[in-house]
Amino acid sequence: MGDRWDHIPADAFMEILRRVPSSPRRRLRLVCRHWRSVIDDRTPATQAQPMVLAFVVGHDVPCAYVLDDLTTEHGTSGRELKLPRAALDWGVSMVGTCNGLLCLRRRWEDDFIVVNPVTGEKLAVPPPPEPHGGSQKADAYGFAYHPATGLYKIVHVPWIGEVNVFALGDGAWREVTLPVPIWLRRVPSFGLTNVGGAMYWVATDPHFQSHSVMSLDVKDERVVFVATLPVRIGLTHLSWHLTTDLRGRLVFALCFRETKQGRMLKGIHAKVWILDDGETSKNPPEWVLLCTVVDSGQELPQGIALPHVIHGEHILTTQARAGYEYDRRVSLHACHLSEARTLDGVVRMEGSPSIGMYDACRSLQTFAYVETMEPLALYRGNGCGIGDSEEWDWRFDGGERRWKLMSCSSSSLL
């Protein structure tokens, strides 16, 4: 590079780099030694290690906590993240996390907020189109990122019918053409998960005879079949989820109770599979059993945490004290796989440290999270920027066929 770039002050150079998304920013390390040194030393995204984020909904407002120590017993909730006031309302749920950005859905407004808790920046995303079936109760949403292009997208997959996609910076949702039969229904009890630039979910035929993993390529927006689940979902299964680990592998987790001579035994067990995508061979993807998680039937039954189950070398589990829905105490545990696994691949949950404790907990979700300065200013175009506003509404423009942001205080366009 020329001398004029080499002599730019590091602070000024960083102000330029902060306006570049993390993926292109990492590619800029290849330009020269000076750029690589500044980016490595001054960019949080290149140094950040993923932490566990616990999203807790109680009888009050939802809260998000960061847990960075998985080896020590804790009696606290963790470090609380600051969420925008518009997200501190009953009915707000977490869609997902990508590169330190949180995507939240406001159920009553049916819209979304994308926020960076470190910088305080936020974007508003309009409601998705109503599905042809008319009901959105069984719809699922995911927050996706494509590493090569730096694109962030919210994916909407209804119970049956079309898939819709909203790219940050765009002004409207787009419908994705499905090459699969329209009768292939998404299984409502499964969520969506983002792995390596693709969004995955589980679909089934009308008779629920088979369960297929489908994927949407975030860049090309093509839907394809990936694999069938390793087991058939049955009545004895308590919960199941499709998720990912920190290595970017697809994970299938299944909770169930053991039966013996027709009797339910105490304790909750879980099996965890990893999808081997066959990158090193021409073989089709194949599920490999990672471990079987066993609860010994202790007084307080444990289960696996969802949707983020495997964090590095730990498997996340939860333990709930019996009580009313609004008066439950739930603890989050981290069980080290290499220390707890026996020769036959069985992982025993007892003795794993409690890394978080949550009172009056109605629901607890876990996610992977990194702190970053990832800027949202690049995506404020096309009517998604809300600036410092904490209250807004949407008005549908029939002429332009899209939603427009409105200020609640002045009833004017934002």
pLDDT tens, position by position, 67-120: 988 888 877 889 999 998 888 888 899 999 998 999 999 888 889 999 999 988
Given a contact cutoff of 8 angstroms between Cβ atoms, the answer to whether 262 and 269 are in contact is no
Window from 228-232, 310-314, 318-322, 332-336 with minimum mean pLDDT:
318-322
Task: Report the pLDDT averaged over residues 48-72.
Answer: 88
pLDDT digit string, tens, across residues 357-367: 998 888 899 99
pLDDT score of 380: 72
CA atoms within 13 A on the CB side of 30: 4
- Residue 223: predicted pLDDT: 87
Provide the pLDDT for residue 263. 56
Q: Contact at 8 Å (CB) between 28 and 39?
A: yes
Q: Omega before 84 cis (within 30°)?
A: no
Query: Could you tell me if residue 207 is left (phi over 0), alpha (psi between -120 and 50 degrees) or otherwise beta?
Result: alpha
User: What residues form DSSP beta bridges with 267?
Assistant: none
Q: What percent of the chain has pLDDT over 90?
A: 17
Q: Residue 45 corresponds to which tokens in the numbers above?
A: 């995204």
Q: What are the extents of the domains in the chain?
A: 1-47, 48-369
> Which alpha helices (H) appear in 235-336, and where do they start and end?
none
Structure tokens at 183: 């009768």
d(CA 290, CA 271): 8
Is the pLDDT score of 285 beyond 80?
Answer: yes
Higher pLDDT, 257 or 208: 257
User: What is the rounded (10 degree) CA torsion for 15, 378, 142, 119?
Assistant: 40
Which range has the top average pLDDT, 13-27, 219-233, 265-279, 376-390? 219-233
Three-state DSSP class for residue 224: strand
pLDDT of residue 300: 46
Asked if pLDDT for residue 11 goes beyond 80, the answer is no
Cα 17 from Cα 375, distance rounded (Å): 10
pTM: 0.81
Q: Which of 226-235, 336-345, 371-380 has the lowest mean pLDDT?
A: 336-345
Nearest residue to 61 (alpha-carbon basis) of 80, 84, 87:
87
- Provide the 8-state DSSP code for 307: B
Yes or no: say if 233 and 242 are a contact pair by the CB < 8 Å rule.
no
Q: Is 19 exposed, middle or buried (0-12, 13-18, 19+ CB in 10 A)?
A: exposed
For the four alpha carbons of 353, 46, 117 and 386, in that order, the dihedral sign comes to: negative
Residue 154, pLDDT score: 94
Residue 109 one-letter amino acid: E
pLDDT of amino acid 16:
77
The type of residue at 18 is R
C-alpha span between 127 and 394 (Å, rounded): 9
Start-to-end C-alpha separation, the chain: 42
Distance CA 325, CA 360 (A): 8
| CATH domain 48-369 topology | Neuraminidase (2.120.10)
Q: Angle, to 10 degrees, between the axis of helix 10-17 and the axis of helix 33-42?
A: 80
Q: Are 316 and 332 in contact (CB under 8 A)?
A: yes
Note the pLDDT tens digit of each residue in 301-324: 567 888 898 998 888 988 887 655
Q: Give mean pLDDT, residues 156-184.
A: 78
* pLDDT confidence band for 182 (50 / 70 / 90): very low
Exposed/middle/buried for residue 56 (C-beta within 10 Å: 0-12, 13-18, 19+): buried
Q: What pLDDT is attached to residue 46?
A: 47
Query: Rounded to whole angstroms, what are the CA distances from 372 to 14, 99, 366, 388?
Result: 13, 7, 19, 20
Instruction: Compute the 3-state secondary structure of the chain and give helix, strand, coil in percent, each to the nearest 5.
Output: 10, 40, 45
The distance of Cα 263 from the centroid of its chain, to the nearest Å, equals 36
Helices and strands in the chain, H and E counts: 6, 31
Question: Average pLDDT for residues 4-14, to the nearest whole number?
Answer: 71
